């Protein structure tokens, strides 16, 4: 009897072990998947991965692939760089030179950023071939293979139907913001966040490092800035009107070494870190340390509650620009990003209108109110092309020049349109798409992050009892997020559309204090966002996306990523 039971158990085990099949219907969906399900290649333990071991990037991707296959399936592959007969091959080769082209014989047109990320993944009787023209493409191919594998345990082998996958992203900028100002998140968690981003093909981590409620970036020239500016005495615990606080000091900041560690970890996963120092508003934590930089002289507490603060950097004090250049200088030392975010949002001008220094500067620069309200000022600065908004543009201009001297481009929230855009500013459109469209019409580069589609601090389910407490003025469901189309032909010409670099999801953390909650807000919405960022509009189909989600959720489980289990 015992023997029979063992036999039956072994048969079931053998059956389940052999029935594991790869599925290429992944998220985000590749551009082209040509599968032949009548034939398969069986991936088994002990098989080798061949790659160019003289290239550290390719070697790293080979190691990632080995680790991911083991994680998903239990199959242990071998790193066999020189083995020409290995069943899994990673290949990077320059694109073939065109014989004849617009640029003349033998000349190669420069690749777009998206083309640099292109790859092919083919499975045939010979095995699995991942190929690309740049190592980043190889990394994308390896992620695609990883997501195609069944999530199993102790698998004896995985059957991969023959396939030819050809893929590249739609947009070059595919971002996610994490607000570490309102709440501090450990470097360890940020690494997990980056892993989740890389899984979804994202390539820009927008790190919101400073807020009224906490300064989180170490500036060596001003040791007190992070030491004292990172700590608020208490945090609000209910709706603002109640003014109820926990009376518990809250703090935390990143040393420059921490930031470098994050930059390196991100770069290994082909993610650029875009740091943000939000100015001249959202600066109360800095004013706490340097009250002389405020219009009134303070004192200013590190803000214990949320909202738009009227206390901002004084726009007329020359020390403000010195301070900003020192801070942005150290930021450039630490972050190699081609883009530096200067914030620029929600800067009320109440203090500037009354401040003798600000008004003297306005006079000196000859700034005047324009009779027409452009409506671009937005929350806290609804006075369009006022002299005060132009003073903000003057500050932006100074910082743009400074960043340009370090080889960087400035990104600002769409309020930077209000006083007039500086020459090369990139606009991050958050109050809908209006600001982004206006900027694209001025031939400025744009990143679309419209709040009603892209703000993942908002709930994803209508029934709020099913979600942790968040900013709940509207719902950003997966389907809402998925429906976002940044290039609407009625609004943008082809040339203007080319100014849209990409799309970003933003995770603000007023009400998100813990890693698990942050992941719950992020997932699976990042899966929806990833198709807005990666796929062409004609590929998108929400019901189809939903059908592909269970496979990804299994991988979330395997990776220890918390997620919202319902989708609307
Ligand atoms: C923002 O949400 N204030 C950019
Ligand atoms: Zn002032």
Q: Is residue 472 part of a domain?
A: no
CATH number at residue 134: 3.30.379.10
Q: Residue range 456-465: average pLDDT?
A: 95
Q: From the alpha carbon of 346, which atom of ligand 1 is closest?
A: 3
Give the per-residue pLDDT at 12. Answer: 47
Statement: residue 5 has pLDDT above 80 = no
Q: How far is the CA of 414 from the centre of ligand 1 (A)?
A: 9
Instruction: Give distance in angstroms: CA of 360 to centre of ligand 2.
Output: 9
Q: Are residues 81 and 128 in the same domain?
A: yes
**Structure tokens given for 92:** 């990077």
Q: What does the pLDDT read at residue 262?
A: 99
Task: Please give the C-alpha separations between residue 231 and each of 283, 389, 431, 488, in angstroms, as whole numbers.
Answer: 14, 30, 30, 44
Q: What is the mean pLDDT of residues 179-193?
A: 98
- 434 and 396 in one domain? yes
Residue 541, in any domain of the structure: no
Which residues, other chains included, contact 440 with Cβ-Cβ below 8 Å and sequence gap of 6+? 446, 492, 496, 497, 499, 500
Lowest pLDDT segment from 173-182, 212-221, 485-494, 530-539: 485-494
> Relative to the alpha carbon of 347, which ligand is closest?
1
Atom of ligand 1 nearest to the CA of 413: 4
Does residue 157 sit in the same domain as residue 277? Answer: no
Query: Which secondary-structure segment (H or E) carries 41?
Result: strand 32-43
Please tell me whether residues 279 and 142 are part of one structural domain. Answer: no
Q: For residue 349, report the distance from its CA to the centre of ligand 2, in Å.
A: 9
By the 8 A CB rule, do 326 and 221 touch? yes
Mean pLDDT on 236-256: 94
Q: What is the pLDDT of residue 357?
A: 98
Residue 493 lies inside a defined structural domain of this protein: yes
DSSP-derived pairing of the beta strands 88-92 and 127-132? parallel
Confidence check: pLDDT of 161 > 50: yes
Residue whose CA lies nearest to ligand 1 atom number 3: 345
Is 216's pLDDT higher than 60?
Answer: yes
Give the strand order in the sheet containing 158-167: 32-43, 158-167, 119-124, 127-132, 88-92, 48-50, 78-79
Q: Does 14 score more than 50 pLDDT?
A: no
Which of 282, 381, 413, 455 has the most ligand 1 atoms within 8 A of CB, as the residue to mutate? Answer: 413
Q: pLDDT, tens digit, for every residue of 395-445?
A: 999 999 999 999 999 999 999 999 999 999 999 999 999 999 999 999 999
Atom in ligand 1 nearest the alpha carbon of residue 508: 2
pLDDT at residue 381 is higher than 50: no
Query: What does the pLDDT look like over 280-339, one tens digit per residue?
Result: 999 999 999 999 999 999 999 999 999 999 999 999 999 999 999 999 999 999 999 999
Return the best residue to mutate from 345, 381, 432 for the ligand 1 pocket (most ligand atoms within 8 A of CB).
345
Read off the pLDDT band of 370 (50, 70, 90).
Answer: confident
Which ligand has the nearest atom to the CA of 318? 2
pLDDT bucket at 380, cuts 50 / 70 / 90: very low
292 and 320 assigned to the same domain: yes
Q: What distance in angstroms lies between residue 182's CA and the mean position of ligand 1's atoms?
A: 13
Within this chain, do residues 398 and 450 fall inside the same structural domain, yes or no? yes
Contacts of 106 (CB under 8 A, 6+ apart): 97, 98, 99
- What CA–CA distances, in Å, run from 459 to 395, 430, 509, 542? 36, 17, 12, 19
Q: Is the pLDDT of residue 47 over 80?
A: yes
pLDDT digits (tens, 9 = 90+) for 123-139: 999 999 999 999 999 99
Q: Which residues surround ligand 2, an ion (CB under 5 A)?
A: 295, 314, 316, 355, 357-358
Residues 159 and 220 in one domain: no
Of 466, 491, 512, the position where a domain reaches its end is: 512
Q: Taking residues 272-284, what's their average pLDDT? A: 98
Residue 364: CATH number of its domain: 3.20.20.80
Question: Do 268 and 121 belong to one domain?
Answer: no
Q: 120 with 233, same domain?
A: no
**If you ran DSSP here, which 8-state letter would residue 340 be given?**
E
CA of 429 to the centre of ligand 1 (A): 9
- Split into its structural domains, the chain has a count of 2
Bridge partner residues of 273 (DSSP):
205
Top mutation candidate among 179, 417, 430 for ligand 1, by most atoms within 8 Å of CB: 430
Distance between Cα 350 and ligand 2 center (Å): 10
Q: Which pLDDT does position 11 carry in this prediction?
A: 44
419 domain-assigned: yes
Do 125 and 214 fall within a single domain?
no
Q: Which candidate, 542, 537, 510, 539, places its Cα nearest to that of 524?
A: 542
- Would the pLDDT of 182 be above 50? yes
For residue 270, tell me if it sits in a domain. Answer: yes
Q: Which domain does 57 fall in, by range?
A: 18-93+114-167
């Amino acid at each position: 009897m015992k023997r029979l039971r063992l036999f039956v158990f072994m048969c079931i085990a053998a059956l389940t072990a052999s029935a594991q099949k790869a599925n290429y219907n992944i998220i985000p969906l590749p551009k082209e998947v040509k599968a032949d399900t009548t034939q398969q290649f069986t991936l088994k333990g002990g098989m080798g991965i061949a790659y160019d071991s003289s290239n550290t990037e390719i070697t790293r991707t080979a190691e990632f692939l080995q680790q991911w296959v083991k994680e998903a399936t239990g199959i242990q592959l071998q790193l066999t760089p020189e083995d020409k007969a290995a069943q899994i091959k990673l290949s990077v080769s320059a694109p073939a030179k065109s014989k004849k082209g617009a640029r003349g014989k033998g000349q190669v047109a420069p690749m777009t950023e998206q083309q640099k990320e292109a790859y092919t993944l083919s499975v045939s009787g010979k095995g699995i071939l991942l190929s690309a023209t740049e190592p980043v493409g190889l990394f994308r191919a390896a992620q695609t293979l990883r997501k195609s594998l069944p999530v199993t345990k102790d698998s004896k082998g995985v059957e991969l139907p023959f396939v030819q996958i050809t893929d590249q992203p739609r947009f070059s900028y595919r971002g996610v913001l994490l607000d570490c100002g309102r709440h501090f998140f450990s470097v360890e968690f940020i690494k997990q966040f980056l892993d989740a981003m890389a899984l979804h093909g994202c390539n820009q981590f927008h790190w919101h490092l400073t807020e009224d409620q906490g300064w989180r970036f170490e500036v060596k020239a001003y040791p007190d800035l992070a030491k004292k500016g990172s700590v608020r005495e208490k945090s609000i615990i209910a709706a603002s009107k109640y003014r109820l606080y926990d009376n518990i000091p809250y703090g935390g900041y990143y040393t420059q070494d921490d930031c470098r560690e994050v930059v390196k970890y991100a770069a290994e996963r082909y993610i650029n870190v875009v740091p943000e120092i939000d100015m001249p508003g959202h600066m109360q934590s800095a004013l706490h340390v340097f009250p002389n930089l405020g219009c009134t002289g303070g004192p200013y507490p590190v803000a214990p509650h949320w909202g738009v603060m009227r206390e901002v950097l004084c726009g007329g004090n020359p020390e403000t620009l010195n301070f900003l250049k020192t801070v942005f200088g150290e930021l450039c030392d630490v972050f190699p990003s081609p883009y530096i975010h200067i914030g620029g949002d929600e800067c009320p001008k109440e203090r500037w209108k009354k401040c003798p220094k600000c008004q003297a500067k306005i006079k000196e620069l000859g700034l005047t109110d324009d009779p027409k309200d452009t409506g671009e000022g937005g929350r806290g600065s609804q006075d369009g092309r006022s002299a005060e908004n132009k003073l903000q543009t003057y500050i932006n201009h100074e910082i743009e020049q400074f960043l340009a001297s370090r080889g960087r481009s400035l990104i600002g929230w769409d309020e930077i349109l209000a006083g007039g855009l500086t020459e090369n500013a990139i606009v991050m459109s958050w109050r809908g798409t209006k600001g982004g469209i206006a900027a694209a019409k001025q031939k400025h580069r744009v990143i679309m992050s419209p709040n009603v589609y892209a703000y993942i601090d908002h709930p994803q389910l209508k029934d709020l009892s099913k979600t942790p407490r968040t900013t709940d003025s509207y719902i950003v469901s997966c389907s809402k997020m998925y429906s976002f189309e940044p290039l609407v032909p009625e609004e943008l010409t082809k040339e203007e559309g080319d100014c849209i670099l990409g799309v970003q999801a933003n995770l603000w953390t007023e009400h998100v204090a813990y890693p698990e909650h942050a992941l719950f807000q992020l997932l699976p919405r990042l899966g929806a966002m990833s198709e807005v960022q990666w796929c062409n509009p004609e590929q998108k189909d929400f019901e189809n996306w939903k059908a592909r989600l269970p496979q990804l959720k299994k991988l979330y489980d395997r990776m220890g990523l918390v997620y919202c289990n319902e989708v609307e």
